[in-house]
Amino acid sequence: MSREFEMSLMGELQFFLGLQIKQGLEGTFVHQAKYTRDILKGFNMGDSKPMTTPMSTNTVLDAEEDGEAVDQKEFRGMIGSLLYLTVTRPDIQFTVCLYARCRSVSSGRVAECTHPILSTTSS
């Protein structure tokens, strides 16, 4: 990058707007590994097993009449964190946006369905 742009003596760029930057001979790689670890720790999923798919094909996201109520603040915080993570993880974008539309459903089932997304991010 120093050949293309004027650089200061601050060293190589490593963080920019919460994104981690890794520069190598192959090019520049942008990722959010630290942010992902922080999300998993914040939602007590630091030791979860990685999953390959963020959502099951037979998941139903309808309102449950008898379902247990979830903490809306925690659910919205989880969805907000995942929405920011989609900047570098387009593979989870569809699923996160689908669950974000269900924010008014106060069902434990919908909240539990976000756990596979978080487990997918840990891989």
pLDDT tens, per residue, the chain with 123 residues = 667 777 666 667 788 887 888 888 998 888 888 888 888 888 888 787 777 777 766 766 666 556 666 777 887 888 888 888 888 888 888 888 887 877 555 555 555 666 667 666 655
Range of the domain at 78: 45-121
Residue matched to tokens 């030791």? 47
Q: Does 25 fall in a domain?
A: no
Q: Does 92 fall in a domain?
A: yes
Altogether, the residues listed in the chain come to a count of 123
Q: Does 86 fall in a domain?
A: yes
- The CA distances from residue 91 to 24, 82, 121, 123, in Å, are 24, 12, 10, 12
**Two tokens at 96?**
């996160």
Q: Does 49 fall in a domain?
A: yes
Q: Does 50 fall in a domain?
A: yes
Q: Does 82 fall in a domain?
A: yes
This prediction's pTM: 0.67
Q: Does 73 fall in a domain?
A: yes
Long-range contacts formed by 33-37: CB under 8 A, 24+ apart? 35/84, 35/85, 36/85, 36/121, 36/122
Residues forming a β-bridge with 25: none
As for how many domains the chain has, the answer is 1
Report yes or no: 78 and 114 within 8 Å, Cβ to Cβ: yes
